[in-house]
């Protein structure tokens, strides 16, 4: 099981982003959660999923935005899960607290805590992916997001009004395809950490 504990960065010097994030994250049907995100304290929120790909996808999006410190706790949870995420308990919840604390000073503001070595390996991959994502240009992000929607490079070029070669260059400079493979590796490592 995976518990995501997420803390807004620099929350004392900027507007509260939690409610907006809750609205987006809890209505995304492509990312099913066992227990949706809830505000747990001030500028912090938490959710539970049994799907490593969902945990990786959400964690990367939030950390790459540079607005959040993201902790992923891996392990068992006490069942049955209560209706409220805040009322949950068990190893994954405890490790998520440990991870979000570590994330505040970790590269990419993302950390993973679990009993198996794969948790640390997943953390290393996720930190690398966030570092790349934060350096990616707006144009590379735009081309990559369209690529993720299944558009060919020629269709992306037509949509953006640029050449196919320019699309290829944006995807290449943003390391888009390499990061997608890295994301799959992080997912496999998280699954291994949860065995």
The pLDDT tens digits for 26-49 are 998 889 899 999 999 889 999 999
User: Are residues 98 and 148 located together in one domain of the fold?
Assistant: no
Q: Domain for residue 49, yes or no?
A: yes
Q: Write the pLDDT tens digit of every residue in 68-123.
A: 999 999 999 999 999 999 999 999 999 999 999 999 999 999 999 999 999 999 99
Range of the domain at 57: 2-116
Q: Domain for residue 67, yes or no?
A: yes
H-helix segments, 65-137: 91-103, 117-135
User: Are residues 109 and 151 located together in one domain of the fold?
Assistant: no
Total number of domains constituting the chain: 2
DSSP for 165-181, written as a single string:
HHHHHHHHHTTHHHHHH
User: Are residues 7 and 73 located together in one domain of the fold?
Assistant: yes
User: Are residues 16 and 111 located together in one domain of the fold?
Assistant: yes
Check which CATH number belongs to the domain holding 76 and give it.
Answer: 3.30.70.270
* CA distance linking residue 19 with residue 24, whole number of Å: 9
For residue 74, the model assigns a pLDDT of 98
Q: Write the pLDDT tens digit of every residue in 139-193.
A: 999 999 999 999 999 999 999 999 999 999 999 999 999 999 999 999 999 999 9
User: Are residues 147 and 82 located together in one domain of the fold?
Assistant: no
User: Are residues 7 and 88 located together in one domain of the fold?
Assistant: yes
Q: Domain for residue 185, yes or no?
A: no
């Amino acid at each position: 099981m995976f518990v995501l504990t997420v803390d807004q960065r620099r929350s004392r010097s900027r507007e509260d982003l939690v409610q907006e994030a809750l609205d987006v994250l809890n209505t995304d049907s492509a990312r099913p959660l066992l227990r949706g995100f809830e505000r747990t304290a001030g500028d912090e929120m938490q959710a539970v999923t049994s799907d490593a790909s969902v945990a990786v996808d959400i964690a990367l999006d939030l950390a790459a935005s540079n607005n959040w410190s993201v902790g992923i706790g891996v392990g068992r949870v006490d069942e049955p899960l209560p209706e409220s995420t805040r009322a949950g308990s068990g190893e994954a919840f405890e490790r998520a607290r440990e991870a979000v604390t570590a994330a505040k000073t970790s590269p990419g503001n993302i950390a993973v805590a679990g009993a198996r070595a794969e948790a640390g390996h997943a953390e290393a991959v996720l930190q690398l992916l966030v570092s790349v994502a934060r350096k990616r240009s707006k144009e590379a992000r735009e081309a990559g997001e369209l690529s993720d929607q299944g558009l060919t490079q020629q269709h992306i070029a037509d949509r953006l009004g640029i050449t196919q070669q320019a699309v290829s260059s944006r995807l290449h400079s943003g390391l888009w395809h390499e990061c997608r493979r890295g994301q799959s590796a992080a997912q496999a490592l998280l699954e291994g950490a949860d065995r």
